[in-house]
């Protein structure tokens, strides 16, 4: 049997088997041309075993990124595994927004709930003069973030912290993509997310708002004069999150911004009428 026949056969079996070629190509580091040239060749025995293994894992709904073991995010390649959430394209939009609105040197940044380190590390990569602290309640996630920092040659600080419990100092930017899914929203989620990504990264009490509530209540003491807060939110949480922060920061401007799909995805808390550059 050649590679193409194998892929075609598996694609008939299950929906996500179309990922098989992608995962295989990525693991073998094949460019598109080498991959296409391979398709009509007989499968070698060790490759057949590899492909069977990938195929079984995909059939169990394991995310392709966990099987590959890494993923591209913004300006970085990050190791990913079940210790942390797979960083999403919407979060790249948040990183992009922060960079566009803060074209200055030497800012201090805190990334609360850093997971793989995606947000904080991509900011550090783009702005080497920024002093970036990665915080997470999960020691497992922090270990992964540390691996990603080292692999990308980025020097950042780490703190294991329940929101702000172990954080010291003040920051020009506090950014967070916290867990924001309500416990009763599971039926809206893909099985692969429910089954493989860590609960700690996904769910929050208070209809998904618990961590925003704590961020709103306690950010002020960790924010420098003129500091800004950037949040990723669930598409239906814009107004609720805005209300929470408006109470704590009555004088700041609070913007709810959409992602590329047009869904509310980010909330930004900054000084009123400030020039955003």
Ligand X SMILES: C[S@@+](CC[C@H](N)C(=O)[O-])C[C@H]1O[C@@H](n2cnc3c(N)ncnc32)[C@H](O)[C@@H]1O
d(CA 199, CA 120): 21
- The CB-of-216 to ligand X minimum distance in angstroms stands at 14
Strand partners, 17: none
- H helices of the chain, in order, are 3-13, 19-27, 32-38, 45-59, 64-68, 89-101, 118-126, 139-151, 191-196, 199-202, 210-218, 238-248
d(CA 115, CA 80): 10
Angle (deg, nearest 10), helices 118-126 and 139-151: 30
3-state secondary structure of 110: strand
Within residues 107-136, the interface with ligand X by CB under 6 A covers 112-116, 118-119, 136
Span of 21-29, 97-105, 148-156, 176-184 interacting with ligand X by CB under 6 A: 176-184
Within residues 195-214, the interface with ligand X by CB under 6 A covers 200-201, 211
Residue 115 counted as an annotated binding residue: yes
The smaller minimum CB distance to ligand X, of residues 21 and 234, is found at: 234
Q: Establish if 162 lies at the interface with ligand X (CB under 6 A).
A: yes
Q: Establish if 172 lies at the interface with ligand X (CB under 6 A).
A: no
Q: Establish if 234 lies at the interface with ligand X (CB under 6 A).
A: no
Q: Establish if 97 lies at the interface with ligand X (CB under 6 A).
A: no
The smaller minimum CB distance to ligand X, of residues 179 and 227, is found at: 179
Name the helix (H) or strand (E) containing 79: strand 76-79
Size of residue set near ligand X by CB under 6 A: 24
Question: Tokens for 120?
Answer: 């904080």
Q: Which residues bind ligand X (CB under 6 A)?
A: 84-85, 87, 91, 112-116, 118-119, 136-138, 141, 161-163, 177-179, 200-201, 211
Q: List binding-site positions for S-adenosyl-L-methionine.
A: 113-117, 136, 177
Q: List binding-site positions.
A: 113-117, 136, 177-180
Q: List binding-site positions for substrate.
A: 177-180
């Amino acid at each position: 049997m050649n590679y193409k026949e194998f892929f075609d056969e598996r694609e008939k079996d299950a929906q996500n088997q179309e990922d098989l070629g992608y995962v295989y190509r990525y693991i073998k580091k094949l460019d598109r041309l080498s991959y296409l040239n391979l398709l009509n060749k007989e499968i070698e025995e060790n490759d057949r075993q590899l492909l069977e293994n990938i195929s079984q894992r995909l059939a169990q709904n394991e995310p392709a990124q966990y099987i590959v073991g890494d993923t591209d995010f913004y300006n970085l390649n990050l190791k990913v595994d079940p210790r942390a959430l797979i960083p999403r394209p919407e979060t790249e939009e948040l990183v992009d927004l922060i960079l566009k609105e803060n074209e200055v040197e030497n800012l201090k940044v805190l990334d609360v709930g850093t997971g793989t380190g995606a947000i904080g590390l991509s900011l550090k990569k783009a702005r080497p003069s920024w002093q970036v602290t990665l915080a997470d309640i999960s020691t497992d996630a922090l270990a992964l973030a540390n691996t990603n920092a080292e692999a990308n040659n980025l020097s950042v600080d780490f703190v294991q912290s329940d929101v702000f419990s172990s954080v010291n100092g003040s920051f020009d930017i506090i950014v967070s993509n916290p867990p924001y899914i309500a416990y009763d929203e599971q039926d809206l989620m893909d099985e692969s997310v429910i089954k493989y990504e860590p609960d700690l990264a996904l769910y929050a009490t208070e209809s998904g708002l618990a961590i925003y509530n704590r961020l709103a209540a306690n950010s002020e003491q960790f924010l420098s004069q003129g500091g800004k807060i950037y949040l990723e939110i669930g598409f239906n949480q814009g107004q609720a999150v805005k209300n929470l922060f408006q109470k704590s920061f009555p004088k700041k401007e609070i913007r709810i911004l959409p992602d590329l799909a047009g869904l509310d995805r980010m909330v930004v808390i900054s000084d009123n009428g400030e020039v955003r550059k």
